[in-house]
Structure 1
Amino acid sequence: MWSFSLWALLPPVYSVLTAAGLWLVYFVAVYDQQIAPLGSKYRRRNGSLYPPYISIAGNSPPASCIFSEVMNLSAFVAFIIAVLRFFQLRQRMDKQWLNFCSLVAFSIGCFGMTLVGNFQLFSDEMIHNFGTVMTFGLGTLYCWVQSFITLRVNLRNEGRKAGILRFLLSGCITLCMIPYFSLMAQGLHMQAAQCQWALVMFFLAFFGTFAIEFRYNSFSIVCTEYSVGRSEGRSEGRSEGLSDEPRYQPDQPDQL
């Protein structure tokens, strides 16, 4: 018997598979001599390799095909995780607007991920960059808000440890984002690309931490059939929605 909810596996599996997909895109692009390897001495000249930005790695086929699939699936699963997190916190927060606004902001960020994946940089630079700003900007905001919520809610008295971890990861994300844009503006593209890869890996590590709280909850979709003809307005069966009822009792904390 499992001593924790299997939903706890969703965030880390998502993080690992997304990271693996992005690195696959990178290695395919390097193999096809589309980009320079990370860590190499890079100076862009006519006909030479492009810097190893994630977007450039996923710009040309076959790497672009893999990149689109990875970004679309990653955006969808990330949205699902954010929705589950919303339902987990819905009954435990006094400021519901903060929980709701964080979900809305991250949902827009997930849409930005689909723009990044489906509009290649060299084909439609404006839409691609707009999606990048949405993804990184709203994603960073979501990380900071969730770090604050973690300390505020303090689920199973683990909020302090999980909150400190998430604040550290949020700080790393922010510290990577600032030099990323600064170095890119200065034309130091190899260093900027390295910051971008570190930034994305910290994002994925942050999402993996949701396994800490997810191991205490089970989520289910319930379908209900509504009887329109009844004057009392009662319904038959059960109605569709998400249930976030804890699987375990609060006085019996579970361990991994």
Structure 2
Amino acid sequence: MWWFQQGLSFLPSALVIWTAAAFIFSYITAIVLHHVDPVLPYISDTGTLSPEKCLFGTMLNIAAVLCIATIYVRYKQVHALSPEENRIIKLNKAGLVIGFLSCLGLSVVANFQKTTIFVVHICGAVLTFGMGSLYMFVQTILSYKMQPKIHGKQIFWIRLFILIWCGVSALSMMISSSLLHHGRFDTYIDQKLHWNPEDKGYVLHLITTAAEWSMSLSFFGFFLTYIRDFQKISLQVEVNLHGLTLYDTAPCPTNNERTGLLPRDL
């Protein structure tokens, strides 16, 4: 049995691979069509114009679904491992809600380009990166509280390192972006897709975009740490029938159907 066939380890793997593919394919398409500059464009810029925005939007919507599934499985896993720990239960529920909000933001970013409805796009980006960073923080705390009985110390330090990496990237992006947008630069800086080294604010632009890519990579790294945990879990679906037919509403004793979430041959 291959490593990605063990438990549900394919979920975080598919999430990272699919999202990375969305970024890469959109970037290549935008570069080939000369829609953006090849040197560190904003991630959203690579999915702003047609046809790459269609690819970008579709793939990120699927990535949001994969992210929801991954976050939910992680929630159920922690819940099963710590059924009587009140603090862990509260943190786990908070992590679920925060993670879902981040997924919602990812879908908003995918469907509202910055050149169409800029405010909505920015709100989606804030949800994605802001709630995503908070989700990483909650999960890192859970990893700390669950060690050494349930979680090893090594995975906690790895997640803490990635969290610090994400925090440094987020802080750099916030500072440079604030300076860029409040400085006396181009009036249409929010809609600008092409930058020249001679443009005012070019260095701040590069710092902002580099921080954005770095922050995205930290997200990838964090979800990859779930692979080993997910190898030890599987989900089942239980169907409770309340009638012998689909139109019969009278209660009657029937057998319940219980199967795995996915067929074994997958």
Q: Give the match for residue 192 of structure 2.
A: none
Q: Give the match for residue 225 of structure 1.
A: 241
Q: Following superposition of structure 1 onto structure 2, how do residues 18-167 of structure 1 map, counting pairs within 5 Å?
A: 18-38=19-39, 52-93=41-82, 94-95=85-86, 96-154=89-147, 157-167=150-160
Deviation readout 1:210-233 (Å, 9 max, x if unpaired): 112111111122212135745xxx
What letter corresponds to residue 137 of structure 2 in structure 1? W
- Return the TM-score normalized by structure 2: 0.79
Gaps of 5+ in 1: 40-51, 244-256
CA deviation after TM superposition for structure 1 residue 186, in Å: 2.4
Q: Give the match for residue 43 of structure 1.
A: none
Q: Distance in 2 between matches of 1:156 and 1:29?
A: 49
Distance 1:192 1:223, change over 3 A: same
CA deviation after TM superposition for structure 1 residue 236, in Å: 3.0
Q: Does 2:221 correspond to 1:205?
A: yes
Gaps of 5+ in 2: 181-203, 244-248, 262-266
Q: Distance in 1 between matches of 2:221 and 2:52?
A: 24
Q: Distance in 1 between matches of 2:150 and 2:219?
A: 24
Q: Distance in 1 between matches of 2:258 and 2:18?
A: 30
Q: Distance in 2 between matches of 1:213 and 1:69?
A: 29
Q: Give the match for residue 255 of structure 2.
A: 237
Deviation readout 1:125-163 (Å, 9 max, x if unpaired): 010000110111110000011011122224875431111
Q: Distance in 2 between matches of 1:69 and 1:147?
A: 30
Q: Distance in 2 between matches of 1:235 and 1:144?
A: 47
Distance 1:130 1:218, change over 3 A: same
Root mean square deviation of aligned Cα: 2.3
Deviation readout 1:29-65 (Å, 9 max, x if unpaired): 11111211226xxxxxxxxxxxx10111110011111
Q: Distance in 1 between matches of 2:58 and 2:138?
A: 28
CA deviation after TM superposition for structure 1 residue 203, in Å: 0.5
What letter corresponds to residue 56 of structure 1 in structure 2? D
Q: Distance in 1 between matches of 2:253 and 2:230?
A: 32
What letter corresponds to residue 125 of structure 2 in structure 1? T
What letter corresponds to residue 89 of structure 1 in structure 2? V
Deviation readout 1:159-191 (Å, 9 max, x if unpaired): 311111111111111110111121122231122
Quick check: 1:140–1:174 contact (8 Å CA) kept in 2?
yes
Q: Distance in 1 between matches of 2:140 and 2:102?
A: 17
Deviation readout 1:64-115 (Å, 9 max, x if unpaired): 1111012101111000011111111112231312111110111111111111
- Return the TM-score normalized by structure 1: 0.82
Q: Distance in 2 between matches of 1:2 and 1:58?
A: 34
What is the aligned-residue identity percentage? 24
The number of aligned residues is 228
SS in 1 for 2:114: coil
What letter corresponds to residue 240 of structure 2 in structure 1? T
